[in-house]
Chain A
Amino acid sequence: GAGVSQTPSNKVTEKGKYVELRCDPISGHTALYWYRQSLGQGPEFLIYFQGTGAADDSGLPNDRFFAVRPEGSVSTLKIQRTERGDSAVYLCASSPGTGRRLNTEAFFGQGTRLTVV
């Protein structure tokens, strides 16, 4: 499809388990973002990639969270030793721009709903 694709759409995991969330951005978009949205809140920034490198990872809450984008397209958000507080919708977005208009056309995916039980 033409949009940002996130898989799985839903993930239920047990506390302490490891999970991977995948994001397939729009083809050609150099910038990719991960956000987390808890119930009743707006999206909260986690990390953004420009190409293969993480340009800003200061939103990752702790070292259990890690993200990669090895070839500059698909990205994987990895969460180790999941906790119940990690339950949220994880959103991915991509955009084509660079410079001041970096977020001019940030296209969001449907998100992955993660539930830690």
Chain B
Amino acid sequence: AQSVSQHNHHVILSEAASLELGCNYSYGGTVNLFWYVQYPGQHLQLLLKYFSGDPLVKGIKGFEAEFIKSKFSFNLRKPSVQWSDTAEYFCAVNRGRGSTLGRLYFGRGTQLTVWP
């Protein structure tokens, strides 16, 4: 079965610290990869996505993610976090084709708390 693993359930950082959130998936075929963010009291929002091409993807608010196919990983990074980045972050994977094309597989999420 498809699975998505997020290694850290809760990360606490001070402002200006660097961030890296891990995400690994188990599916070996063609995949589309996503990071979603959920700010307190708000709905899930797309942070960035990877379909093909340059494995280093830049998203909104200074976030980026790197797809490493050999490691089945899609880690999220930000060089300097802000208090407003406090949120829950979800990694999600979608198969590139087939009957489950419309399905996103989500990780458990990582709660990021940034102290001012």
Q: Is B90 an interface residue (CB 8 A)?
A: yes
Q: Is B101 an interface residue (CB 8 A)?
A: yes
Q: Is B102 an interface residue (CB 8 A)?
A: yes
B 90-104 binary contact with A (CB < 8 Å = 1; else 0):
101010110111111
> What are the residues of chain B within 8 A of A108 when measuring CB–CB?
36, 43-45
Q: Check B32–A43 contact: CB distance below 8 A.
A: no
A91 to B42, CA, bound (A): 12
Please judge, given known A-B contacts A42-B109, A100-B32, whether A56 and B44 are in contact too, CB under 8 Å: no
For chain B, which range describes its interface: under 10, 10 to 19, 20 to 34, or 35 or more residues? 20 to 34
Q: Which residues of A contact B (CB under 8 A)?
A: 3-4, 31, 33, 35, 40-45, 48, 50, 55-56, 58-59, 91, 93, 99-111
Q: Is B67 an interface residue (CB 8 A)?
A: no
Q: Check A48–B103 contact: CB distance below 8 A.
A: yes
Nearest chain B CB to A42's CB is how many angstroms away? 3
A110 to B41, CA, bound (A): 8
> What are the residues of chain A within 8 A of B44 when measuring CB–CB?
43, 91, 93, 108
The chain B residue sitting closest to A40, CB to CB, is: B108
- Interface residues in B7-60 by Cβ distance below 8 A to A read 32, 34, 36, 42-46, 49, 51
Those 5 A-B pairs whose CB atoms lie nearest each other, nearest first: A42-B106, A48-B102, A108-B44, A45-B103, A108-B43
Please judge, given known A-B contacts A100-B32, A103-B34, whether A45 and B43 are in contact too, CB under 8 Å: no
- Interface residues in B68-113 by Cβ distance below 8 A to A read 90, 92, 94, 96-97, 99-109
Q: Check B94–A103 contact: CB distance below 8 A.
A: yes
Q: Check B101–A111 contact: CB distance below 8 A.
A: no
> What are the residues of chain B within 8 A of A55 when measuring CB–CB?
101-102
